[in-house]
Structure 1
Amino acid sequence: MSTSPAQKINARDVAPNRRRGGDIRVLLSPKTVASTSGFMGQLTLEPGEHVSEHYHPYSEEFLYVVRGTMVMKVEDQPVRLNAGDSLMVPIKARHRLENDGEEQALVVFHLSPLAPRPELGHVDTEPLPNAADPTLQVGHG
């Protein structure tokens, strides 16, 4: 049985997706490393920025706050997140993340399992902050 070598991706080498707010970079995914069970990335939010409300019909979302303070609203219930905190968002739970702190926030996220097709994995439930800007129309991982 043959196994593939480990694959390394650097965040600087991945184009940011700013359409839903912040700087979202899908690092390890079916597209970048041929993953089969989920995908992982990082989110950078400046003070006052947010990621628009959405849900994942097929995936749980796991977050780890590396730096900063934020509020994640899950089904309209606020959850305070500080550096070192982790949070699991259940499948189909609406959620919205906002940096209400005074410094840049950095979050690592992972979603699993994968949706049957990429376009089915994410459902927006509020207007996207950057949807009208054609320079921000970066495809997802």
Structure 2
Amino acid sequence: MNETCQAVARRVALKDVAANRRRGGDIRVVLGPKTAGATSGFLGVLTLAPGEYVSEHYHPYSEEFLYVTSGSMTVTVDGEPVEVAAEEGVLVPVKARHRVVNNSDAPATAVFHLSPLAPEPRLGHVDTEELPHPDAPHPEIDAPHPEIAAR
């Protein structure tokens, strides 16, 4: 083993991570700075019931990789809908506004990864649409878009 390596592998169970429901759906950061000590990005799971959505937002510093594991989702990126079925993925570029919707009659689940991290957690997401559950508990700090905060 490399003696200069200080990294520690950390296992985190989905069931042990609190859901963030502020933007809609069930969003859980499984491997991130707070849950696993990650330093370059984070990975999580998004679950949407039929008709549920994640409100529009963008990431000023990060690309988002979204891979649908079951069901299907419509990911609207800068106004263009992208249909993503199970075993398909979509890359959302840095600063691209995006919204995720489950338009089907079955639950849908996706794994997501964002990288690199923003300089501060509150700078990682910029909301561009009213949040469906603004008072719901959330594990990360949110930075609402000035247009939304002014309402």
Which range, TM-score by smaller chain? over 0.9
Q: How does 1:76-95 map to 2 (within 5 A)?
A: 76-95=79-98
**Number of corresponding residues:** 138
Can you list the C-alpha shifts for 1:70-110, whole angstroms capped at 9, x where unaligned?
11100010000100111100000000000001110000000
Give 3-state SS (helix, strand or coil) of 2:35's partner. Answer: helix
Q: Give the letter for the 1:40 counterpart.
A: L
Q: Structure 2: 5+ residue runs without aligned partners?
A: 142-151
Identity over aligned pairs, percent: 57
Question: Out of 100, 103, 107, which is 2:106 matched to?
Answer: 103
Measured in 2, the distance between the counterparts of 1:100 and 1:121 equals: 27
8 Å CA contact retained: 1:26, 1:140: no
Over aligned residues, Cα RMSD in angstroms?
A: 1.1
User: 2:119 aligns to what?
Assistant: 116
Structure 1 runs (4+) deviating above 2 angstroms are: 2-5
Whether 1:138 aligns to 2:138 is: yes
Measured in 1, the distance between the counterparts of 2:50 and 2:11 equals: 30
Give 3-state SS (helix, strand or coil) of 2:83's partner. Answer: strand
8 Å CA contact retained: 2:74, 2:103: yes
8 Å CA contact retained: 1:60, 1:91: yes
Give 3-state SS (helix, strand or coil) of 2:54's partner. Answer: strand
Give 3-state SS (helix, strand or coil) of 1:36's partner. Answer: coil
Q: Tell me which of the two structures has the higher relative contact order, counting C-alpha pairs closer than 8 angstroms and 6 or more residues apart.
A: 1
Give 3-state SS (helix, strand or coil) of 1:127's partner. Answer: coil
Question: Out of 67, 70, 75, which is 2:73 matched to?
Answer: 70
Measured in 2, the distance between the counterparts of 1:2 and 1:55 equals: 34
Whether 1:23 aligns to 2:26 is: yes
Deviation (angstroms), 1:32: 1.1
Q: Could you state the TM-score of these two structures normalised by the residue count of structure 1?
A: 0.95
Q: How does 1:34-49 map to 2 (within 5 A)?
A: 34-49=37-52
Question: Out of 6, 10, 15, which is 1:3 matched to?
Answer: 6
Q: Give the letter for the 1:140 counterpart.
A: E
